[in-house]
Amino acid sequence: MVDEQTYEIFKKCADNTTVSVETVKGLEEGKSALAALRTKTTDEYYLFDPITGNVVDPDQPSATIDPLAN
């Protein structure tokens, strides 16, 4: 089964705000896009599920994290 759900990739900014970087289709595409972004910069990126309103770890989609908790 192909994951047709879309996810948003956000960047955490220095002032603790976030900026939407791109929309991806499926967790695998999200995982690949995050990996590519993380090799280019030390900025923090995360994957957001707009259906649940949670940030997800593409390796453990049932886990949620709060990127602004730091």
Q: Express each pLDDT in 11-66 by its tens digit.
A: 998 898 999 999 999 989 999 999 999 899 888 899 999 988 988 877 765 555 55
pLDDT at 1: 44
Dihedral-angle region of residue 16 (phi above 0 means left; psi in -120 to 50 means alpha; beta otherwise): left
Global model pTM greater than 0.85: no
pLDDT at 34: 93
Answer whether residue 10 shows pLDDT above 80.
Answer: yes
Question: End-to-end alpha-carbon separation of the chain, Å?
Answer: 36
Instruction: State how beta strands 6-12 and 44-49 pair.
Output: antiparallel
47 and 55 Cβ atoms separated by less than 8 Å: yes
Going from N- to C-terminal start, the domains of the chain cover: 6-65
Answer whether residue 69 shows pLDDT above 90.
Answer: no
pLDDT at 48: 93
